[in-house]
Structure formats: C-alpha cells, structure tokens
Amino acid sequence: MRIKTSILFLFIIFSAVSHLFSQGTGSLSGTVVDSKTGESLFGANIMVQNTQRGTAAGPGGHFKIEYLTPGVYALTISMMGYEDARKDNLQVYPDQETYIKIELKPTVIEQPAIIVTASKRKQRIEDAQTSVDVIGIRDIQSKSVVNLDQVIQYVPGVSIIDGQVDIRGSTGFNWAAGSRVLVLVDGHPLINGDTGGISWDVIPPDEVERVEIVKGAGSALYGSNAMAGMINIITKDPLPDPQTRIKLSWGFYDEPAYPEWRWSDRFYTYKISNLNEYSPLNTLSFESVDFTHSRRIGKVGLHLALGRRTSRGYHQNGDYNRWNVLLKTKIRFSPEKTLAIAGHWALDDHGDVLQWESIENPLKVPDTELGNRVRNEKANLHATFKNSLSPVWYYTVKANIFRVDWKNEFQDNQDYAVTDRYGSELQFDHFRGQHAFTFGLETIFQHTNSIFYGDHDTRSFAIYGEDEVKFSKLWTFTLGTRYDYHQVLNISTGQQLSPRLGIVYKPSKKTSIRGSAGYGFRAPSIAEIFADITVSGIRVIPNFDLTEERAWNFELGIRQQLVNTKPKKNSEEDLLKSWLTRNLNPQIMVDLSVFASRYKNMIDVDINPEISVSEVQFQNLGRAKNQGVECRIQGIFFNGGFSTQVGYTVIDPINLDTGKMLNYRSRHRLTAGFELRWRNLTLGYNYRYASRAEEIVNLLGSAFDERVPMHVSDCRLLYQWKNYQIGVEGKNIRNYNYTLRQKFLEPIRHFVFTFRAKFD
Amino acid sequence: MQRKNQNNKNQTTLFKNIIYLFAFFTALLLIQNFGCYKGHGISPPQGVSLIRGKITFTGTPPDSTKEVWIAVLKKYPSGIDDTNQLFLFVLSNLVISDSIPSNVPEYDYELEIKPGQYEWVLVVWFPDIEDYLFGAKELGAYYFNPDDPLPTPIDAPRNEILEGIDIIADFGNVNNEEPFYKKTQ
C-alpha cells in the first residue's frame, strides 16, 4: 500500500512539474514513410541530434516531439531494414508545431540501429562501449523453438547449459543457481528470487520483438547479476490495427544413433518397421499451439498471447506440459508519455532428470528417479511509465512483481519453494550540451518460503549515475558508478561500488573503436546460501559464510562496416565492378573484441573435502581470471538474398588458486550459418561448435568420461505465401550425441513442422 | 584517368577478395561439418570385461543386514575419512553387482564391467535402515598381497576374463566407525 501511494505521489508531482516546464516551447511533428512504396513506417526511431531526445513513430508513421526550446534542430531517423536518414535545419518556434515528412530508403541490413540496454536509454549500437549483439524478429521466428534460450545460443560467445547463460566463459554450470548475466524483459529483471536462475519459459518466443545481448560488466547501471552482461528481451508492442496470428507446430524425435539406446517402442523408425502399428501421433512427438491478438482501442493498445506446449520427450522423464499467457497494454498519452503494463503467466509440469541410468542406456533414468516431476508456476507483472519534464529532462518509473512457485514430486521428496520478488526503480535522463546523464535509484525486496531454504527475506537498495560526454564527433567518454546495499535479513549485509569507464572513438561513419573497464558483482542467491537438500543421493549443504563475488572486466573492440556504395547510373566503369555492386551488393560487418576479467571470491559449486565428497556446497573459490578474443563477421549479399554469419570465441578461464581451467568451460566456440532467400523460399543452416570442457565437478562419481566436443547442425526450409508460412526444420541433423553437464544427453535429432497464419 | 582506372581495379580486387573470403568460410563450414568429424559423439562402450573371484565371509552377518554388494571403483579415496564415501561410488551403477548372498561361508562371483583400470574392488555391506545407503560399510577388498597397505588395482581387459580377484569379507568390520577399512589406521 505504501509503495502504491508513493508511486501515485511521484506521478502527480512529475505531471505537475512537466506541465510547468512546457510553457513557451514548440514541437516537431511529422510522418515517416517508405520512399518506394509510400507506406507509413510504424515504430521508426526519431532522435533529436545533440540532445539525444527522441520518440518512435506511432500508427500511420506519425510522430511528435513536444516541449522543445525554440531553436534549430536536426533529426536522425532510423528503422530496421531502412537506411538512416537525417533532417537538418528544422526551426522550432514558441507554441508552434513544425511539420516534416521523412522518407526512408529500404536496405538489406537487418541489424537494428538503436538499442536500449547498454546505457539504459536509447543509443546507436556503434555508440555502445561494450560488445552488443541483437537478435531480430526474423531470426527468432525462423527457428522453431520452445524457449528463447534456444535462439540465444546461436549468438557468438554465448552458450546455454540447462537454461543458465554463459557469456564468454563467465559461467560454467551451477545447477541453475545464480546467474552472472542479468536477464530482463522490457527492462525488468527476469531472475528467480530464490535460485537466481532464469525462467525462460515465461516469455513465448514468438512474442519477442528483439533481444539485445550486452557482453561485459553492466553492474554500474544494473547492479548484481550483471557482472558479465545483460540480455534484454524486448516484447512486441500492441499493433495499431487489429491483427490475429496463429502458429501450429508438430515435431518428432528420430531414432537414437545406436539401436541399443532405444528405450521406447514409440520411436519413429521403430514403428515404421511395423507399419500396421505405425501412427504419427504415437511417436515421441511434441506440439504447440499459439494464438495472438493485437489491437489498439483509442490510446490503449492491447496484446494478448496464449500458448500451449506439450512433449513426450526423447528420454525417460522427458515429457512436459506448458501453458503461457501474456497480456501487454500500452497507453500512449502522447508520443513521449506512455504507460506500459505487462503480465506473464506460465505453468510448467515436466519430468525431471538428474542423471542418466548408464552410458549403455543414456536415454533412461535410474529406477530411483523414474516418475520424478517438477511443477512450477510463474507470474510476472511489470509496469513502466515514461514521461518528459522538459526538452532535456526525462524520467521513467518502473515497478515489477515476480512470483515463482515450484514443487518437486519426486520419489524421495516433495520439496517446494515460493518466492516473491518486488522491484521498483526511478530513472532520470538529462541532456545538457554534449552530456547525457542517466541516474536513478532502485529497490528490491524478496521473500522466500521453502521447505529446504527456510523462510528468508532479502532487501537491496541502489543508487546509480552515469554521464556520457561527446567531446567531438570522434570521441565519446562514459563514466558511471552504482552503489548497492543488500541485506539477507538476520544473516548478512553487504555493499558494493561498481564503477565503469568507457570510450568510443569513431574515426569514420563505418568504424567504431570501443574500450571499457567495469567492476561487477553478484550477491549470492538464497538457494546458494541456504539450500539444504538431498537429491538423488547428492546432498547440498548450506553455506552461511558465502559472500558476493566480484570482477573487473576489460574490453577493447572494433566494429567495422564494409557497405558497398552503388555506382552512378549509366556508368561506363569496369563491368565486373558494376555487376558486383548492382547484383552482389555486399554489406559486411566485422566485429573484433579482446576481453579480460579478474574475479575475486568467485562462487562455484564444489565438493567440500572438509565435509564429504558426496556432499556439495556453493563456495567462494577465490581468485580466477578469464581472457580471450572474439571475432564476428556478418555478410549480406545479393540485396538480401544471401546472408551469412561466422563467430569465433577463444577463452582462457583459469582458477588462479589451483592453476586449473574453470569448470564446464569450452576453450573454443564457433557459430556459423547462412540463409538463402529465393522468391518465397528461405533455406537456412546453422552450426555450433564447442570444444570439450577440460574441467568438470565430478559430483556423480562417473566411471565413464562422457565429455566430447559439441557439433550441432540445424537446417530449415520455409515457404511464405501471402499471410501464411509453412516450415520444416531439422535439428541436430547429424544426430550427434553430446553432454553439456554430467550424465545428461542433449537432444537427439528431431524434426519440426510449423504453420503460421496472420489475419489483419 | 590512369588513377581512376587504378582505383577501379583496386575496388574490383577488393570485391573479388570478399567473395573469396566468404567462399572460403562456406567451404570451411561444409568441410568441417561433413568431413572432419566422424561418428556420433558419445557412443556406447564397446566390449566388456569379466572379473571372477571368491568371496570368503568371516564372522556372522548381523541381524541388521539388508544387502551385500560387490563394487568395482575407478579410484581409491585418498586421505578423506568420510562417512558417505562409499555411497558416492555406489551411485555409479556401472561398477556394482546385484545383491549377493551373505549367509554363506564362500561365494564365487562373476561381474561384468567396462574394460579399464580400477583401483578398488570391495565388498560393501548395507544396514536395514531407511537411509541404508548412508550406512554403507566395507567388509573387505581385493589385496593381491594381504600385507599391502592399499587394495590392489586391477586392469580389466576387453572381452576377456580376469580371474582370481578374491576377497576376504569380515562382518566384524560393520562395527567400524569409518565406512571403509583402511589398513594404515
């Protein structure tokens, strides 16, 4: 109640101040359209030069930027799939509206030019001081996935083990407890309050507009968990015109690579050999149904998504049954004053597998685990209110609640945990001359009620500020810090200062050189401190002395675009060049990074030799370091007809106390892929490689070393006809058997058929 | 004019190089994917080894006896007096036997294991309690020379039989405080 009253009070105060600031100002308005078709461009980004103030085009491509001090302005306009445009010498008069029409030329580059995560506000991707990758809507929808992490694992330098994100070797496998990467949904944390893990199933992949992946320390703005990076999932906004979408998918698992691994007579080819018994519905299949409706009623936009996913699984206990509901509303009081409220609910009832039965039967589970299930329910509600106080002052108020309720239905335990996480944040953005200030404060309260964590409350409070200074067109400096105070009630308190320094040098429009140094930290999660549980014979014991881990992160990088300039018409230049530029039309981006991290009190799960080798504990390991190089090349040719991407990362993560490599890290990683588009057909191929993990925690006393390098190949074929799309995708088409954690075989070859329809 | 032609030539060369670069990457990808790695990654272990021996029981089995197993372990624990040591190893179901009879003076066993080296072949006793795995005790292990301080490692050959892995299992050891019997203590 007190929180609600405070937020209401803030709204009233800021609305009043905002009205006062608006006296004697002018505005810029206009329309953004496609230069070829004349179609309005909903969602185009419009930014006021030097002030970095901006807005997004609404329905009909209309936009309006109010409360501008009279004077001369320049606008830059950008949108994914279009070349950037610039409008200079726009005169704004007191109490008048200046109207302009903007035409954007289509391009084949699909990387969004504007990002919002790296600095907690809109900025161009080449202005970011750390490496940023963006997964666009096309990449998400071209792959049939159940959870979004299955798309993110294609990003160079990023890997996922059992839902846990590892950026450039920052994380190994911690049994889903704790995350060194902060995952956000529309800027709100999606970190479970108890385990500190990530609930990927809360967000249906098809409802995501784009995903921004920031590599490097982000604690200076985001605090705990962001010590190795952030992943911000931007969900789709309600559409201006009514639209309904349906997606149906069905797939099945192929035979295991070795006949002796069959554990069920429901494998596809097994049934084929007995045609009389064969039924597609009787195989080890999986299916999903998604329904989405989006519309706007007056100023209120509504976006509703319902989904259900079921699977029989490719191994024993591998089945799941999931439901999803997403409701997002966005009220656009004015182009700069918006209120977005989103609610997500997910129910997941799945079989649980800790380890396989044996290497002779890796798709079976031990009898002691047969029938083990986990049922969890998650509810996430968040609200974001944005407004401006004046042409140079903005503020954002955020509030969020995230509940995770899960229960084990195991043979040997019926444990449960219910955790509520309440967060609120007030952020200001101020633009003054060449300075862009971002500062704010954030509070988080968590309450956990669990049979094996006990009842615990945690509180944290933070204040942060960062200044970005553009000394010239060439140089941009960023300096910021954040102070965090966090408390585990009746147990411990801690505080942390996380500074960050960044430099961006742009010697040309196509070249961006960046450097950053940042200090990050992560407070241990409730599970890491209090977990007291025995699962399938492994006992996890609490560690009340566990303290926060800290790390310095450094990065140097260069981003170079090689964009072809089209030749003049009727040019008599070299014929080959002419053909190349007109037809091949190569557009290439190269990004090279050198990075290093130094950890202190790194938290990792380990056997505790002082207690027992069959008991494990989360411990502060001591000092560790990690360094490496990452290279990414992205190319688009034939006017978008062919695109390809190659990313390679090499790391050297070392525990400085033992001299050994950190657990569950692959020294080499490679991702590569291409997409070929011809008329209505799209053919895609992706490949992922990770070298064998050199060190693991031998928790389960395995007599068999199952570690192998990872080679996974996927391919897909899509056909688009008007508002309908059908697709078939083969995943792990080489049927390669590998593990990412001990005694758990990752998905074998499977095929997915998808049908999408859109009704306007 | 000559300079302009030179520029055009340079640009053409640049584009050619770009094409070659991506052709190289694509070829690398295809070669890597379809040529360089063979097989399917993890595969079932090929072949087995058979070990045989005689277990000689001494003492009387306690009334609290639930089961007795033979366990074959890769590593012998080093320097850790651990109440749950045995339990960790019995989790690895590749190297344990089914329950064997314990109320007999002698028992000839035969156990199929994965070929390779093992440091510890032992007989494990479990009490008849709820958490019986936590009450595991060693009754005895394989010693080639009874005076050796540590159990004798074995090397189980592929598709062959290794005989003479005899063990003396003493039920008196169930009263030991430590879960496994160490001659050095």
Of A234-238, A401-405, A432-436, least confident by mean pLDDT is A432-436
Interface of A with B in 691-720 (CB under 8 A): 700-704, 706, 708-711, 713
Q: Measured between alpha carbons, how far is A581 from A571 in angstroms, rounded to an integer?
A: 12
pLDDT greater at residue A557 or residue A615: A557
pLDDT at A578: 67
Q: What DSSP state is assigned to residue A150? A: H
- Alpha carbon of A697: minimum distance to chain B alpha carbons (Å): 13
The amino acid occupying position A266 is R
With beta carbons less than 8 A apart as the criterion, state whether A363 and A263 touch. Answer: yes
Q: What DSSP state is assigned to residue B97? A: P
* A61-111 pLDDT per residue, tens: 788 887 788 888 889 888 766 777 888 888 888 888 888 889 888 765 555
Residue of chain A whose Cα is closest to the Cα of B131: A537
Instruction: Note whether B43 contacts A362, CB cutoff 8 Å.
Output: no
- Strands A131-135 and A158-161 turn out to be unpaired
**pLDDT grade for A509, boundaries at 50, 70 and 90:** confident
CA distance readout (Å), A603 to A174, A525, A618 = 9, 10, 6
pLDDT at A113: 65
Retrieve residue A84's tokens.
């950037």
pLDDT at residue A6 is higher than 50: no
Closest Cβ opposite residue A586 in set B8, B15, B133 = B15
Residue A301, CB-side half-sphere exposure with 13 Å CA sphere:
21
Q: Measured between alpha carbons, how far is B124 from B122 in angstroms, rounded to an integer?
A: 6
Mean pLDDT of A291-304: 92
**pLDDT grade for A517, boundaries at 50, 70 and 90:** very high
Helix (H, G, I), strand (E, B) or coil at B59: coil
Which residues lie closer than 8 Å to B36 by C-beta, 6 or more apart?
none
pLDDT at A704: 54
Judge whether A646 is closer than 8 Å to chain B, CB to CB. yes
Domains of chain A in sequence order: 2-104 (2.60.40.1120), 114-759 (2.40.170.20)
Overall size of chain A counted in residues: 760
- Alpha carbon of B148: minimum distance to chain A alpha carbons (Å): 25
Mean pLDDT of A435-455: 91
Q: Measured between alpha carbons, how far is A680 from A676 in angstroms, rounded to an integer?
A: 11
pLDDT at B159: 78
pLDDT at residue A175 is higher than 90: no
pLDDT at A11: 45
pLDDT greater at residue A173 or residue A166: A166
- Strands B49-58 and B167-170 turn out to be parallel
Give B40's contacts in chain A (Cβ within 8 Å): 257-258, 734-737
pLDDT at residue A258 is higher than 80: yes
Residue numbers of chain B with a pLDDT score lower than 70: 1-39, 77-96, 179-185
Judge whether B48 is closer than 8 Å to chain A, CB to CB. no
Could you tell me which of A163, A238, A246 has the C-alpha nearest to residue A206? A246
CA distance readout (Å), A17 to A10, A336, A378, A423, A657 = 11, 15, 38, 25, 56
pLDDT at residue A19 is higher than 50: no
Helix (H, G, I), strand (E, B) or coil at A530: helix
3-state secondary structure A257-289: CCHHHCCCCCCHHHHHCCHHHCCHHHCCEEEEE
Instruction: Note whether A537 contacts B87, CB cutoff 8 Å.
Output: yes
pLDDT at A628: 95
CA distance readout (Å), A45 to A54, A64, A545, A696, B30 = 7, 12, 49, 46, 39
Closest Cβ opposite residue A537 in set B15, B85, B133 = B133
- Alpha carbon of B3: minimum distance to chain A alpha carbons (Å): 13
Judge whether B95 is closer than 8 Å to chain A, CB to CB. yes
Could you tell me which of A47, A69, A75, A50 has the C-alpha nearest to residue A434? A50
Judge whether A644 is closer than 8 Å to chain B, CB to CB. yes
Q: What is the DSSP string of A564-617?
A: PPPPPTT--S-HHHHHIIIII--EEEEEEEEEEEEEES-EEEEEETTTEEEEEE
pLDDT at residue A717 is higher than 50: yes
Could you tell me which of A756, A743, A742 has the C-alpha nearest to residue A173? A742
Overall size of chain B counted in residues: 185
Task: Tell me what ipTM this predicted complex has.
Answer: 0.74
pLDDT greater at residue A425 or residue A97: A425
Instruction: Note whether A701 contacts B43, CB cutoff 8 Å.
Output: no
With beta carbons less than 8 A apart as the criterion, state whether A718 and A726 touch. Answer: yes
pLDDT at residue A360 is higher than 60: yes
Mean pLDDT of A418-447: 92
* A547-576 pLDDT per residue, tens: 899 999 999 999 998 765 555 555 555 666
pLDDT at B147: 85
Q: Measured between alpha carbons, how far is A255 from A386 in angstroms, rounded to an integer?
A: 53
**pLDDT grade for A751, boundaries at 50, 70 and 90:** very high
Place of tokens 């996922």: A160
pLDDT at A1: 44
Q: Measured between alpha carbons, how far is A494 from B62 in angstroms, rounded to an integer?
A: 54
The amino acid occupying position A50 is N
Tell me, rounded to whole angstroms, the distance of Cα A25 from its chain centroid. 39
With beta carbons less than 8 A apart as the criterion, state whether A100 and A46 touch. Answer: no
pLDDT greater at residue A189 or residue B9: A189
Q: Measured between alpha carbons, how far is A754 from A289 in angstroms, rounded to an integer?
A: 10
- Strands A624-637 and A654-655 turn out to be antiparallel
Instruction: Note whether A258 contacts B74, CB cutoff 8 Å.
Output: no
* A370-396 pLDDT per residue, tens: 899 999 999 999 999 998 887 788 899
3-state secondary structure B160-180: CEECCCCEEEEHHHHHCCCCC
CA distance readout (Å), B97 to A11, A533, B140 = 71, 28, 15
pLDDT at residue A359 is higher than 60: yes
Judge whether B40 is closer than 8 Å to chain A, CB to CB. yes
Q: Which of A538, A563, A577 to mutate to test the interface with B (most CBs of B within 10 A)?
A: A577
pLDDT at A700: 57
pLDDT at A26: 85
Residue A602, CB-side half-sphere exposure with 13 Å CA sphere:
27
With beta carbons less than 8 A apart as the criterion, state whether A45 and A77 touch. Answer: yes
pLDDT at A22: 47
**pLDDT grade for A242, boundaries at 50, 70 and 90:** very high
